[in-house]
Amino acid sequence: MNMLDLIGGHFSDKLVEEVRCGKKIQGPGDNWDMKIHAHDMLSTNQNTDLHYFASNLIVERVPSENLSNVSPQVKISSLHNTAFLLDSNEANKLRDDIKVLVGRVLLQKIPHLSFLKHVIPNHIAHPYKKEMSKKSIIVPLPMMMKDEKKYEDVVDILDGYEQHLEKIFVKADVIEKPVEDTNSKTPPIIGRQSASADQARAHFNKDDEYDYMKKISVPFGGDQMTRVRFAGAKDLRAGANTAKHRFDHCCPFVAELFHTKMAYVQFVYNLLYKAESTREVGTLKFFREKFNHRNVTPKKVTDSYEGCEQLLLQVGQAYLLEAAMEFWGMGNLEESPTKHVPPADIHSQENEKKMEYFQEVVGEFVNEYALPKGEQEIFESDKVRAYGLNVIELVVFLMQLIDTCKEGDGERSMINKKRLLMYFKSSNSFKNYSVEMFTWIAQIKSLCSEEMAHRLKWGRFVNWNGGEGKNIACDMAQEICNRVSKDIVKGMGANKTPQTMMRASKAAAGVDQIVKRVNEVSNIKPASQSHTHKETSNEEVMMFQDLRKLQPFNTKKGRYHHNFKEIVVSPTSSVNMSELFTWLEKHKKQIAMGDKTQK
């Protein structure tokens, strides 16, 4: 037997065993694209573009027993619009999280605030910290030779999911497949039909007494396009005779965290980056050119996401330090504060006193600079200050997205989705992701059962190696598996066939773990990143020095960056709440139509 078959088979057997023990599973999926270059270019032998689809199954780590499986929890039409907004408890939680994230930056860079290290946690706690520190079980499915850009192929992908799930749960003795499925008829052909608005029928399953797989519900996710196409295919199959043909067991479908974060970073660049602002000190364009960050691709951040994220974090932290100078009345990082002065003996005092200072003073700093009340300052006359406040608010929230994912915190992720809804609604360029955030919140608060909502909140994280704060998003794990399988395929030379590519995709997670284990026992250390971090830190200091000269937070009326004359204090300031509620009502009504068709 081929070695890749053995590796893939081992992990498949492990998955079956986990399912037999009562564990639940989820999955991400993503396109798998590769260009095969012809060695000898002939009229009959040209370069080939491959557009396939790869998926993983991931064993859930957080238990969901004793939760109701009745769906919907409440009718979507009855769900109040305020359910899509932060309530007071969520707003306070977000503020507390941001205090920790901001405090970590301040204590590292400002010696006179170093005492905060005794009260600022390394990890923001949540109820399932222990579970999310465990290593995940990741099992790649065989790659499908399907292109998600074609609806007929999307239907085949979901049909494939149903087949795989049936095999897994039958093998695990969870279900028993009938000898003959008398209800099974050829499902309707999709052709050129269009799904209903908001793919309404995709959100509801029929109560089918003949469904022998009724116990099975495995959510799948992907990027925004994948989620919509999956839901559209299920919507179009809503009239099929069997639950299996209606794709009732591989849903609900969700937009994944990493792709959502990339969309958010694109939103930030669209707002704060202008190609014409090269000479405007303090702007993203100014810093990109000054420090020659050619790996920053503002028009399409997905072309070089890491470079785009790195620049944002550097500039954001420089602005945080500049704001700290203004807030604490300091001329440089080494000077003693002249405002909000810590007690002289604070270093020797009990942690309770240090915590009081942190909660009160750093809390005030966060309220003023990281979470400004935009509705009160929308007419701020100093647009340079307004630009700086935007940078801090948006970069600190990016830090929140990153830290939430690392900790695998489902509750924080839910809070983030509500905040993201407001950000995406503030821009006409992100209507699709506004709908994705609406859909996610609607699933958690209404459409899904209590059990499924819990699973969706806590199941979209993967811990590749185990350890606290080591989680990544499901779709990031899928990207890693795709990269590994592509490396295997590239090493096949001329022996690339659909069968060998399926082998490679199924064994990808195992190959990656084997390589890491071999390196570990051979005492081969991963490449050090310390030098890179040191250079990044130096650049942040130089950016901070530029901002010291600009003094963006020393308010001067009438000041502005030429290309940002109309900027307001916070992007959420431009969201018309009346129009937002009208928009929410529209989408709730559209989804409710799907519920009516199931009765």
Q: Is 197 helix (H, G, I), strand (E, B) or coil?
A: helix
Report pLDDT for 598: 43
Dump the DSSP string for 426-447: T-GGGHHHHHHHHHHHHIIIII
In the structure encoding, which two tokens stand for residue 368, read together?
């003023």
- pTM score, two decimals? 0.92
- Could you give the CA distance from residue 355 to residue 161 in angstroms, rounded to a whole number? 51
Contacts of 515 (CB under 8 A, 6+ apart): none
With beta carbons less than 8 A apart as the criterion, state whether 102 and 396 touch. Answer: yes
Calpha distance 467→221 (Å, rounded):
24
Measured distance CA(324)–CA(103) in Å, rounded: 11
How far apart, in Å, are the Cα atoms of 174 and each of 54, 169, 170, 228, 481?
25, 5, 6, 30, 28
Asked whether the bond before 28 is cis by omega within 30 degrees of 0, the reply is no
The one-digit pLDDT tens for each residue of the chain (599 residues) are: 466 666 656 568 889 999 999 999 999 999 998 887 777 778 777 787 888 999 999 999 999 999 999 999 999 999 999 999 999 999 999 999 999 999 999 999 999 999 999 999 999 999 999 999 999 999 989 889 999 998 899 999 999 999 999 999 999 999 998 876 555 565 655 555 677 778 999 999 998 999 999 999 999 999 999 999 999 999 999 989 999 999 999 999 999 999 999 999 999 999 999 999 999 999 999 999 999 999 999 999 999 999 999 999 999 999 999 999 999 999 999 999 999 999 999 999 999 999 999 999 999 999 999 998 754 454 568 999 999 999 999 999 999 999 999 999 999 999 999 999 999 999 999 999 999 999 999 999 999 999 999 999 999 999 999 999 999 999 999 999 888 888 877 777 666 677 777 776 666 666 666 776 677 777 777 654 444 445 567 899 999 999 999 999 999 999 999 999 999 999 999 999 999 999 999 999 999 999 864 44
Given this model, what pLDDT does residue 8 score? 55
Read off the amino acid at residue 296. V
Q: Are 563 and 277 in contact (CB under 8 A)?
A: yes
With helix as H, strand as E and coil as C, how does 461-492 read?
Answer: EEECCCCCCCEEEHHHHHHHHHHHHHHHHHCC
Q: How much is the pLDDT for 378? A: 47
> What are the DSSP calls for 382-412, one per residue?
-HHHHHHHHHHHHHHHHHHHHHHHHHT-HHH
Number of other residues whose CB lies within 10 A of the CB of residue 513: 17
Surface-to-core class of residue 61, CB atoms within 10 Å of its CB (0-12 exposed, 13-18 middle, 19+ buried): buried
Domain ranges of the chain: 3-38+46-72+134-256+472-521, 88-131+258-411+535-570
